[in-house]
């Protein structure tokens, strides 16, 4: 009985699909949308809020506190890898337990790879400067990201018509 319980404890649960949340502000009617993937206590979020910033943002949230970014800019190099592609190192805005990219020239290629991949690994350093990997199994990412970004695009175009 104990051996069976040990064997079952080593089996990984199936990956959860990405969840979409579209929020309309009850006063201003401004739209915010988030496509969120949760895995092992970590989160990967693709978000947009046309009233607050242009385009999409990608943010990861870690279970651990991360090593600080640059004192003045808050940026730190983060390495990530989709499937078997070569690893990529980019500057991300790091704050406490999260990292974010928001520049269109970085977000667009990241999203293109995200919606076509099966797995994403993000390598960071925690506050004790240990290497820490966040691994995300990517399931149903394309429809979730497209739904979130479409909600913002529709709201943005409606705001321009006013």
Q: What is the pLDDT of residues 12-23, one digit of tens each?
A: 777 888 999 999
Confidence label for 128 from pLDDT (cuts 50, 70 and 90): very high
What is the tally of structural domains in the chain? 1
Tell whether 106 is covered by a domain. Answer: yes
- Choice between 93 and 72, residue whose per-residue pLDDT is larger: 93
Closest by CA position to 37, among listed 102, 122, 103, 95: 122
Tell whether 75 is covered by a domain. Answer: yes
Tell whether 121 is covered by a domain. Answer: yes
Tell whether 67 is covered by a domain. Answer: yes
Can you give the CATH number for the domain in which 143 is found? 2.60.40.1880
Quote the pTM value. Answer: 0.85
Which residue range forms the structural domain that includes residue 43?
35-161
Tell whether 8 is covered by a domain. Answer: no
pLDDT digits (tens, 9 = 90+) for 144-160: 999 999 998 887 665 55
Closest by CA position to 147, among listed 15, 22, 16: 22
Q: What is the CA radius of gyration of the chain?
A: 18
- Block residue for tokens 């006013």: 162
**What whole-number distance in Å separates Cα of residue 33 and Cα of residue 151?**
7
**What whole-number distance in Å separates Cα of residue 32 and Cα of residue 19?**
14
């Amino acid at each position: 009985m104990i051996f069976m319980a040990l064997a079952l404890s080593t089996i990984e649960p199936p990956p959860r699909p990405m969840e979409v949340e579209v929020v309309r502000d009850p006063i201003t009617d401004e739209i915010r949308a988030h496509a969120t993937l949760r895995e092992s206590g970590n989160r990967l979020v693709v978000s947009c809020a046309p009233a607050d910033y242009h385009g999409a943002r990608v943010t990861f949230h870690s279970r651990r506190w991360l090593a600080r970014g640059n004192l003045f800019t808050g940026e730190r190099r983060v390495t990530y890898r989709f499937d078997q592609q070569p690893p990529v190192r980019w500057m991300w805005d790091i704050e406490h337990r999260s990292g974010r990219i928001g520049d269109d020239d970085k977000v667009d290629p990241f999203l293109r790879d995200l919606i076509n991949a099966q797995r994403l690994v993000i390598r960071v350093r925690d506050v004790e400067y240990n290497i820490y990997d966040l691994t995300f199994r990517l399931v149903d990412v394309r429809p979730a990201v497209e739904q979130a970004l479409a909600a913002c695009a529709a709201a943005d175009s409606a705001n321009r018509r006013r």
